[in-house]
Amino acid sequence: MATKNFDWVQVTESIRSSYKQNQLGWWFYSLARTFNLTNVVEVGVLGGYSAIYTMAGMPDYGYWKGYDLWTLYPYNHVSRQEAFNNIFKADLLLDDFDLDPYGPLENVHKHILEPVDMIHVDVSNDGDTYKWCLEHLFQCIKPGGFLVMEGGTIERDLIEWMKKRTPIVPIVDFLHSTVDTRVFQWELWCKVDRFPGITVFRR
The CATH number linked to 144 is: 3.40.50.150
Any domain includes 11: no
Any domain includes 111: yes
Q: Which amino acid is at 41?
A: V
Q: Can you give the pLDDT at residue 125?
A: 97
* 182/93: higher pLDDT: 93
Any domain includes 14: no
CB 169 within 8 A of CB 157: yes
For the chain, what is the total number of helices (H) and then of strands (E)?
Answer: 9, 7
Does residue 177 register a pLDDT over 80? no
Any domain includes 155: yes
**What mean pLDDT is reported for the chain?**
89
Any domain includes 134: yes
pTM of the model: 0.92
Percentage of residues of the chain with pLDDT beyond 90: 67
Q: Which domain range does residue 122 map to?
A: 19-202
Which of 58, 96, 103, 100 has the alpha carbon at shortest distance from 83? 100
Any domain includes 1: no
143: helix, strand or coil:
strand
**Domain count across the chain:** 1
Any domain includes 190: yes
Any domain includes 123: yes
Beta bridge partners of 150: 198
For the chain, give the number of residues: 203
Q: Please write the tens of the pLDDT for every residue from 51-86.
A: 999 999 999 999 999 999 887 788 889 999 999 999
